[in-house]
Structure 1
Amino acid sequence: MILHSLICLVHVLFLDRVNWGQQIHGLIIKMSFDLDVVVASALVDMYAKNENIDYARKAFDGMGVRNVISWTTMIVGYGRHGDGKEAMRLLQEMFREGFDPDELTLASILSSCGNLSSTIEIIQVHAYVVKNGLEAFLSLSNALINGYSKCGNISYAFQSFSSILEPDLVTWTSMIGAYAFHGLSKESIETFEKMLSYCVRPDQITFLAVLSACNHGGLVSEGLHYFDLMTSGYKIVPDSEHYTCLIDLLGRAGLLDEAFNVLISVPIELESNTLGAFIGACKVHGNVELAKWAAEKLFLLEPGKPVNYSIMSNIYASVGHWFDVARVRKMMRDRCDYKVPGCSWVEIAGEVHTFVSSDRSHPQALEVYSTLGMLVRLMKEEDCVCGVDFIFDSFGNECAI
């Protein structure tokens, strides 16, 4: 009875009460209940859901006996924490210990690998799914669609979608979103219309996916149609993401006045992404006044985010308002700690290599910059680059700018 009560209490305490959970953890150890695999798994789950992945791993490593649930709990915890590499390593260790993962474990791994753009790992998990006859689980098929899509392999995503005999709403939405993610607006809309022909009722997420497809393809009339279909046809109340997509669609098409009218008529509180989309459109079409109006609201919402100030500074610079450039830059220095650099990555032989501007951290940085310098020299010798200036990077190699 006491043991059952402790398990229930640990499950309840994951709701932002990690300190209480630690106290219960101490009590569990004192009473030697941590030897029970169910109690220990509940502790791992509690710490993982509180995003305290280190404590979760300590609780997991301290387990004398583990079962599939405990392995799955830890792997799912790493997946939610965004540590796909550790989740994959733990899955391999799980195999070595003689445990077979269930559909929840595999779905979490696929999601983690998709976030890491690790195609090879997804293919390996996919092969395991096929070999063990687990394709019937829609959760796995949906995870495969999302995973392949995030890795840039839309053809494999479509193959996974086509293999499903009875796709559900999540399946359709996954494929619609995958096409939209890859800029295949026509295919995304066709998939959405096909879903409607099967009498599958779309939800908020489905409409967001098709609106995103219209946005990426610059399909204004189609986007307005689907927004109206959502609100009037299906009586779905749009949230900030739908309005952001609509404003971005209108703004990219140069319809700034229409986008502004939507912006000021939004019945919910404006969010930073909505204002950011509008400012981006103003930057493209050179409307400084509307950008300034939106930026003032954005600075109040996110005073410590450097990218907001950078965008507005660039807008002022594009029209020669240097005083405003200096003013915004000073605001950024006063309010922001640092700017997180953008990065790019490439997967080679199953390993993801990440790079930022002027990166020195990669173990083969010297070779990378040396090769880049050689390519630039060859391009200059072949006269393939016209009107391009060259500078020397921090490694002494010549780079195009």
Structure 2
Amino acid sequence: MWPRGFLLRLLLRVTAGATARHACARVHPLLVKSGHASDTRLATALADAYAKSGLVTHARRVFDETPHRDLVLWNVMVSCYSSHGLLLDSWALFASMRRSSGLSGDGFTFSALLSARAPPSSCSQYLGLLAHGLVLRLGLQLDLVVATALLDMYAKCGLVADARRVFDAMLLRNSVSWNAIIVCYGHHDGGKEALQIFASMLRNDDGRCCRPDELTLASLLSSCANMAAAYEATQLHAYALKRGLQGFLQVANALVMAYGKNGFLQQATQTFATIHNPDIVSWSSMVSSFAYLGCAKNAIHVFERMLQQGVRPDGIAFLGVLSACSHAGLIQHGLKYFLLMTTDYQIDPWPQHLACLVDLLGRAGRVQDAYNILLNISCQTNSDVIGAFLAACKTRGNIELAKWAADRLLSLEPNEPANYLLISNAYAAAGAWSELAKVRSLMRNVCSNKVPGCSWIEIGGKVQTFVSNDILLQQSTNMRQMMEILVTFMEKESNDDTLCKDSDFISERF
């Protein structure tokens, strides 16, 4: 006695998935022998089981052998291609559906097309715009799942303004749509806007579908780390404690990085200590936090603890410890870790790793060895590595190699003012005044206005930025007057031989 259709569908649902990759292939013969192979519902369940098991060709064979195909079966096959990153195949099948069956598709169809796991490209962007037009024509823009998929598509393509327009046009929103726009801003340097949307999300929270989750907090904390917004990071930490979300690993990792980049090493260390089973991201965040603030010995200590715990380091962890050794001048340690990375762990060095290595060799006086590395590893096309080599030439006064590095740097980034300043400093340190004059003249002719260096401080949750001679800043006059008063007090309390007699002291610096 062969199983009935309901039992077969139940078996296919159980066997679907990666944990039973070929189990559905053993149920398939039962459908054929029992005479249910042409049943559309059973064929749909079988194709879905194959798709979820990663057997795309098997799913397509079932689809092709089914004589009567409804919209659900078409959607399963479109979703199969889309979930496996086969963007063009999913769209080709969608076009075939419209031609052969006369079906226009529904919300599930377009959400599958828009959610393809394919890298962003001009083709994917064009197809996304095409899908948006069809969604508007069919009146599916009010579907929450479709609108969220549209938002996510624009975010992946880097079209932040279009993603925001889709979000603003949504009549209904859930936590997925709120997270999508927050992550969109976070990935494209829009941390301030992400925090504003988070505030709106809290105001619209009805306690059921719009409540922030661990993904929301992790994305916002990453934005706080990039913006150096300590006040917001502290507030988000308090919210995570209130909601009981601090136990999620991704939230704790983001907290470590946010506190570390804001200079709060004690809070970063305390947060790291609360993680029961830290992963490579946790350890790398802690190492990078110490390295970012110049605590090289602490970074090395954490890195060694990570190795003792049996955690395999990745490129980011090695970059953190190499950066710490480079900034602190720990040459032997840095060379040891670079060899450990390339020989023991077989990790190909990134340009950032090579920049640290070049800096280490330059500090050791081995400029020629650094030059040989540039030639042998073919990393002359990266401005960071060339810049590190030029700085090493400046330190050691090697004018010939400095000229070579300057030519390479200007050919890579001819319109970058920072490169001209780096080259000028190298020539000035070597006493090559004629070369210095040429570089200064070239900089005036090629570069636009130089972006001034700035400093900032956070007051009352707002980041205030200061640049030289900034008369547009609020209360700049009061600050200049206060500086004059402070200088006056300093002059009175100093000895006569250390007095600042330059009348332009204030105007040159503020």
2:136 corresponds to 1:24: no
Which of 335, 339, 347 is the aligned partner of 2:458?
347
Whole-Å Cα distance in 2 between the matches of residues 391 and 43 of structure 1?
A: 61
**What is the one-letter code of the residue matched to 1:386?**
T
Which of 224, 227, 231 is the aligned partner of 1:116?
227
Contact 1:390–1:399 (Cα < 8 Å) also in 2 = no
The answer for the alignment partner of 2:108 in structure 1 is 4
Whole-Å Cα distance in 1 between the matches of residues 508 and 406 of structure 2?
A: 34
Contact 2:391–2:426 (Cα < 8 Å) also in 1 = no
**What is the one-letter code of the residue matched to 1:300?**
S
Alignment of 1:65-104 (within 5 A): 65-98=172-205, 99-104=210-215
Which of 361-370 and 378-387 deviates more? Answer: 378-387
RMSD: 2.1
Whole-Å Cα distance in 2 between the matches of residues 312 and 268 of structure 1?
A: 19
Distance 1:264 1:388, change over 3 A: farther
**What is the one-letter code of the residue matched to 2:446?**
R
Alpha-carbon offset, residue 352 of structure 1: 0.4
Larger radius of gyration: 2
Which of 368-377 and 158-167 deviates more? Answer: 368-377
Alpha-carbon offset, residue 304 of structure 1: 1.8
Alignment of 1:116-195 (within 5 A): 116-195=227-306
Which of 302-311 and 72-81 deviates more? Answer: 302-311
Alpha-carbon offset, residue 19 of structure 1: 4.5
Whole-Å Cα distance in 1 between the matches of residues 499 and 395 of structure 2?
A: 24
Whole-Å Cα distance in 2 between the matches of residues 349 and 122 of structure 1?
A: 13
Deviations 1:349-369 (A, max 9, x none): 111001122112322222222
Unaligned 5+ segments in structure 2 are 1-70, 72-104
Whole-Å Cα distance in 1 between the matches of residues 412 and 430 of structure 2?
A: 26
2:148 corresponds to 1:36: no
Alpha-carbon offset, residue 320 of structure 1: 4.3
Whole-Å Cα distance in 1 between the matches of residues 343 and 432 of structure 2?
A: 44
Whole-Å Cα distance in 1 between the matches of residues 423 and 508 of structure 2?
A: 28
Distance 1:296 1:383, change over 3 A: same
Contact 2:469–2:509 (Cα < 8 Å) also in 1 = no
The answer for the alignment partner of 2:169 in structure 1 is 62
Alpha-carbon offset, residue 311 of structure 1: 1.5
2:410 corresponds to 1:299: yes
Distance 1:284 1:377, change over 3 A: farther
The answer for the alignment partner of 2:498 in structure 1 is 386
**What is the one-letter code of the residue matched to 1:43?**
L
Contact 1:240–1:270 (Cα < 8 Å) also in 2 = no
Higher relative contact order (CA 8 A, sep 6+): 1
**What is the one-letter code of the residue matched to 1:82?**
D
Which of 327, 337, 346 is the aligned partner of 2:448?
337
**What is the one-letter code of the residue matched to 1:136?**
G
Whole-Å Cα distance in 2 between the matches of residues 313 and 399 of structure 1?
A: 21
Which of 137, 152, 155 is the aligned partner of 1:45?
152
Whole-Å Cα distance in 2 between the matches of residues 155 and 71 of structure 1?
A: 32
Give the 3-state SS of the residue equivalent to 1:361 in structure 2: coil
Whole-Å Cα distance in 1 between the matches of residues 363 and 477 of structure 2?
A: 40
Deviations 1:46-90 (A, max 9, x none): 222222222211111100110100100011111112121211111
Which of 161, 182, 201 is the aligned partner of 2:312?
201
TM-score (norm 2): 0.74
Which of 284, 309, 312 is the aligned partner of 2:420?
309
The answer for the alignment partner of 1:360 in structure 2 is 471
TM-score (norm 1): 0.93
Which of 190-199 and 228-237 deviates more? Answer: 228-237
Give the 3-state SS of the residue equivalent to 2:285 in structure 1: helix
Deviations 1:189-244 (A, max 9, x none): 11111111111111111111111111122111111111111111112221221111
Which of 277, 284, 289 is the aligned partner of 2:388?
277
Whole-Å Cα distance in 2 between the matches of residues 11 and 337 of structure 1?
A: 42
Alpha-carbon offset, residue 24 of structure 1: 2.7
The answer for the alignment partner of 1:216 in structure 2 is 327
Deviations 1:170-203 (A, max 9, x none): 1111111111111111111111111111111111
The answer for the alignment partner of 2:121 in structure 1 is 15
Alpha-carbon offset, residue 389 of structure 1: 6.2
Alpha-carbon offset, residue 291 of structure 1: 1.2
**What is the one-letter code of the residue matched to 2:266?**
S
Give the 3-state SS of the residue equivalent to 1:344 in structure 2: strand
Give the 3-state SS of the residue equivalent to 1:354 in structure 2: strand
Whole-Å Cα distance in 1 between the matches of residues 480 and 408 of structure 2?
A: 42
Aligned length: 398
Give the 3-state SS of the residue equivalent to 1:183 in structure 2: coil
Percent identity for Structure 1 against Structure 2 = 45
Which of 116-125 and 328-337 deviates more? Answer: 328-337
Alpha-carbon offset, residue 20 of structure 1: 4.1
Alpha-carbon offset, residue 4 of structure 1: 2.3
The answer for the alignment partner of 2:338 in structure 1 is 227
Deviations 1:259-310 (A, max 9, x none): 3333333255541100101111222333322211111111111122121112
Deviations 1:131-181 (A, max 9, x none): 222122111111001101111111111111011111111111111111111
Distance 1:391 1:40, change over 3 A: farther
Whole-Å Cα distance in 1 between the matches of residues 424 and 380 of structure 2?
A: 25
Which of 263-272 and 288-297 deviates more? Answer: 263-272
Which of 172-181 and 367-376 deviates more? Answer: 367-376
Unaligned 5+ segments in structure 1 are none
2:429 corresponds to 1:323: no
